[in-house]
């Protein structure tokens, strides 16, 4: 089957200028090698390319076949697209002869075309098949998972990944419904959740947290982020930039803790006879935490929850092991 880009669904890149500015693409750095860990519909990648020098390189990743189809239309010899998760970054860069890069941008959000296309099954607002896979060429769909998973695991996933306090009631309702008929559409699942959630947050559909939880689990988003953070740190050169945009508290918490662990190194008792060069050194310098402006949120309400954290990898002190 041939997969093509879907132009009718438009995507507004969140924190577009702020994210690319964070990579500091000027002077000698404009000739470096950079990674866009989530190509999406190419907003960040295209702006990065517009600021890079002739001999620079940009290597982008994405799991979504439609994003790959869009990326393949970028006719720029400096650009490479990899059909895989950014969690495979280290191996993918090594395969392409790259040891370290000068900056890495990870935009962890799901794109507007994925949400707006009912056939992808990400949204409860339009009825469609309950798929939710970012990579539709592999893995188990949400419908297949709901049909076979135990009630206990359903509850755990909905509670932990969706931070849903009615996870027990929702899991119980899913198991009861699937005994009668398959849960195969987004409208079925949204209606089922609405019946199980006793109170609703103002302005939020009762299915929001459950859909988020299932999407995160099906696509292994938190596992990919955990692996991707470690690999991004390993792959960025000393002096290089890590810029990461997250869209919900679970992701942002992981990024915040990872950056803090690298930046705030516990020091031993000063009375111990330890050479300065042997003292634990911070590995990252925290640069900024940026949220969308009011104007951007007004123009694109989906940007509201975005948070970008930026850090620089520090060189090890001279003489350190």
Predicted pLDDT of residue 7: 42
Q: What is the pLDDT of residues 174-183, one digit of tens each?
A: 999 999 999 9
Please check if 43 is assigned to a binding site.
yes
Higher pLDDT, 269 or 188: 188
State the architecture of 136-218 in CATH terms: Orthogonal Bundle (1.10)
Domain boundaries, the chain: 16-112+221-313, 136-218
For residue 215, how far is the Cα from the chain centroid?
12
Question: What six digits make up the tokens of 306?
Answer: 């975005």
pLDDT of 276 above 60? no
Q: How confident is the model at residue 282 (pLDDT cuts 50, 70, 90)?
A: confident
Predicted pLDDT of residue 272: 61
Predicted pLDDT of residue 271: 60
Predicted pLDDT of residue 76: 96
Please check if 114 is assigned to a binding site.
yes
| Shared fold status for 16-112+221-313 and 136-218 | no
Higher pLDDT, 199 or 80: 80
CB-based contact 60:40 (threshold 8 Å): no
CB-based contact 23:103 (threshold 8 Å): yes
Torsion angle of the four alpha carbons 34, 37, 41, 47, in this order, in degrees rounded to the nearest 10: -20
Q: What is the pLDDT of residues 103-138, one digit of tens each?
A: 999 999 787 777 778 888 888 888 999 999 999 999
Please check if 62 is assigned to a binding site.
yes
CB-based contact 247:289 (threshold 8 Å): no
State the architecture of 16-112+221-313 in CATH terms: 3-Layer(aba) Sandwich (3.40)
Predicted pLDDT of residue 4: 36
Please check if 86 is assigned to a binding site.
yes
Predicted pLDDT of residue 270: 63
Please check if 252 is assigned to a binding site.
no
For residue 72, how far is the Cα from the chain centroid?
21
pLDDT of 11 above 70? no
């Amino acid at each position: 089957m041939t997969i093509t880009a879907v132009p009718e669904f438009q995507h507004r890149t969140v924190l577009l200028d702020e994210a690319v500015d964070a990579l500091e693409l000027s002077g000698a750095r404009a000739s470096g090698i950079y990674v866009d860990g989530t190509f999406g519909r190419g907003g960040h990648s295209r702006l990065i390319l517009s600021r890079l020098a002739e001999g620079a390189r940009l290597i982008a990743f994405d799991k979504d076949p439609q994003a790959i189809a869009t990326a393949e239309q970028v006719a720029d010899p400096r650009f490479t697209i990899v059909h895989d998760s950014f969690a495979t970054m280290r191996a993918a860069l090594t395969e392409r002869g790259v040891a370290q890069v000068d900056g890495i941008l990870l935009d962890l959000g799901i794109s507007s075309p994925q949400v707006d296309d009912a056939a992808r099954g990400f949204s409860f607002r339009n009825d469609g098949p309950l798929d939710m896979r970012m990579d539709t060429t592999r893995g188990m769909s949400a419908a297949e998972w709901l049909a076979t998973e135990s009630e206990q695991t359903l509850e755990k996933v909905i509670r932990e990944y969706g931070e849903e306090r009615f996870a027990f009631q929702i899991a119980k309702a899913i198991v009861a419904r699937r005994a009668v008929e398959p849960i195969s559409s987004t409208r079925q699942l949204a209606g089922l959740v609405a019946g199980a959630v006793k109170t609703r947050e103002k302005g939020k559909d009762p299915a929001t947290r459950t859909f988020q939880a299932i999407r995160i689990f099906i696509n292994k988003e938190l596992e990919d982020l955990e692996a991707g953070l470690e690999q991004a740190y390993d792959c960025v050169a000393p002096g290089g930039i890590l810029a990461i945009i997250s869209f919900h508290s679970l992701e942002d918490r992981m990024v915040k803790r990872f950056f803090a662990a690298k930046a705030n190194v516990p020091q031993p008792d000063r009375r111990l006879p330890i050479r300065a060069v042997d003292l634990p050194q911070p590995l990252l310098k925290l640069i900024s935490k940026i949220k969308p402006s009011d104007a951007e949120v007004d123009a694109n309400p989906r940007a509201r929850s975005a948070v970008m954290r930026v850090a620089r990898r520090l060189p090890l002190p001279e003489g350190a092991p």
